Amino acid sequence: MSPKQLTGKKAKRLTIYIGESDRWRGKALHAALLETLRTQGMAGATVTRGLAGFGAHSVIRTASILTLSVDLPLVIQVIDAEEKIKAALKVIAPMVAEGLITLDDVEVVKYTHRYLNPLPADKRVSDVMTRKVVTLKDTMPIAEAWEIMLKHLLKALPVLNKNGEVVGILTDEDLLERAGLEQHLSIAERLDEQTLQSELKGLRASPLKVADVMTSPAITVRGDEPLSLAAARMAEHGIKRLPVLDEQGKLIGVLSRVDVLKQVVSEEAKKRAAKAPRGAARTVGDIMIREIPTIEEDAPLADVVARFLEAGTRRLIVVNEAGQPLGLISDADAVTRVQPSSQRGVLLALRGKRAVPAEKITAAQLMSPEVLSAPPDTSLTEAAHLMLSKKRKWMVVVGADGKAIGLVDRQALLKAVMHQA
């Protein structure tokens, strides 16, 4: 069974107690059992040789210097899914003429292979983090914080208190949910100056400070911690950035999801992937999201907005009648590619606050026509390379007929390479 299928799952541990001198068809029994277990497709098996012991005959066997050729006890252990263990038992039980076989429940905390880990074991967070960090003060007015986010086009910034300690993270989502902001940064950066100033005017009238709306406490990582630990933390919590602290708890950098994925496509990672055992390599078909948020190319604006709200997503795949992807529509596309007089109405409609403006425009006219796509057998390393080189957050998985069958985003990719998906 693969690491993906076994990690974090309930499993069975098969333990076989035999003697060193036991034979099966002229061959050492432990060697015959190992070969049989391997042909049965077990995840792995281990043989342990005991120093001393006694069995059914109550004869003590020992590995003392004076008796080097004794029949020492051997223990063979196998851990795998219950159905595979039970199938293997039917084959190996008749081979154990004298001995003991036990079966018990276990939980697999981690199962991996040295060549399946795409991140170098010796890399620390400080080796790959971004050192130049834009920060906010916890006492800063929210309007000032939003202006800084707009200026640097950053959706999440660490928040420091008067002592320079990281006390939280401010995201555009925080401002949307708790401060009355009307659009994400990806939309705001494409709006005209007059609309932006109108938004800022409303924020300036608010008495709220950054500390009132930020996400706190912040999930952080230390610069001297392994990169793999930080990546696992990001995958577990579904976050894109981690503030990096030194030994005194002071901010020294930020680790982004892109920083991590760049290591996945490094030459060193590709060499490790090439040494992976047969059948161990994972593909986008293994991890793709099968519930695809699609919209037909001739769908009107009202249907596009309704599909955004129904799917709870910020991107839709535009498909033709055959289900083949033609392009992508982001929520920013839906707002900024309509007439200026309709933009605010679409913005509010996307938040469920008003009806969609009567604008004659279709999904095909709103979409960006280029779609990053790949077949399901594309390796995770190649997928990461394509998404980073093309600066795309989504990859559409297409079947042999060109029809969209799934999606892969950066979060799914990160979870997969950290064996959490």
List all residues 6 or more positions away from 168 whose beta carbon is below 8 Å from its beta carbon: 138, 158, 159, 210, 211, 214, 215, 216, 217, 218
Angle at which helix 301-311 crosses helix 340-350, to 10 degrees, equals 30
The reported pLDDT for the residue numbered 159 is 97
The confidence band for 379, taking pLDDT boundaries of 50, 70 and 90, is confident
Which of the two residues, 393 and 269, has the higher pLDDT score?
393
- Could you tell me the residue ranges of all domains in the chain? 3-107, 125-268, 284-417
Strands (E), 201-293: 221-222, 241-245, 251-256
| CATH class belonging to 284-417 | alpha beta
Rounded CA separation 212/142 (Å): 9
Q: Centre a 10 Å sphere on the Cβ of residue 327 and count the other Cβ atoms it contains.
A: 18
Q: Work out the burial of residue 45: count CB atoms within 10 Å of its CB; fewer than 13 is exposed, 13-18 middle, 19 or more buried.
A: buried
Residue 1 pLDDT > 60, yes or no? no
* DSSP letters spanning 85-107: HHHHHHHHGGG-SSSEEEEEEEE
The confidence band for 39, taking pLDDT boundaries of 50, 70 and 90, is confident
The reported pLDDT for the residue numbered 243 is 97
The pair of structure tokens assigned to 379 is 């390796």
The confidence band for 72, taking pLDDT boundaries of 50, 70 and 90, is confident
- DSSP H helices in 351-379: 363-366
Q: What is the mean pLDDT of residues 266-288?
A: 66
The confidence band for 130, taking pLDDT boundaries of 50, 70 and 90, is very high
The confidence band for 172, taking pLDDT boundaries of 50, 70 and 90, is very high
Residue 3 pLDDT > 50, yes or no? no
Which of the two residues, 20 and 254, has the higher pLDDT score?
254
CATH 3.10.580.10 fits domain 125-268: yes
The confidence band for 228, taking pLDDT boundaries of 50, 70 and 90, is confident
The reported pLDDT for the residue numbered 131 is 94
Q: What is the mean pLDDT of residues 124-150?
A: 95
Q: Please check whether residue 364 is in contact with residue 326, taking contact to mean a CB–CB distance below 8 angstroms.
A: yes
The confidence band for 112, taking pLDDT boundaries of 50, 70 and 90, is low
Residue 226 pLDDT > 70, yes or no? yes
The reported pLDDT for the residue numbered 192 is 82
Q: What is the mean pLDDT of the chain?
A: 86
Q: Centre a 10 Å sphere on the Cβ of residue 27 and count the other Cβ atoms it contains.
A: 11
The reported pLDDT for the residue numbered 234 is 92
**CATH tag for 3-107 (out of 3.30.70.120, 3.30.70.940, 3.30.200.20, 3.20.20.140):** 3.30.70.120
Q: Work out the burial of residue 368: count CB atoms within 10 Å of its CB; fewer than 13 is exposed, 13-18 middle, 19 or more buried.
A: middle
Three-state DSSP at 71 gives coil
Q: What is the mean pLDDT of residues 291-318?
A: 94
Rounded CA separation 127/29 (Å): 50
The reported pLDDT for the residue numbered 65 is 47
DSSP summary character for residue 276: S
H or E, element range at 232? helix 227-237
Side chain identity at 287, as an amino acid letter? I
Rounded CA separation 99/397 (Å): 51
The confidence band for 66, taking pLDDT boundaries of 50, 70 and 90, is very low
Domain 125-268 shares a fold with domain 284-417: yes
The reported pLDDT for the residue numbered 197 is 87
H or E, element range at 278? none
Q: Please check whether residue 180 is in contact with residue 202, taking contact to mean a CB–CB distance below 8 angstroms.
A: yes
The reported pLDDT for the residue numbered 35 is 92
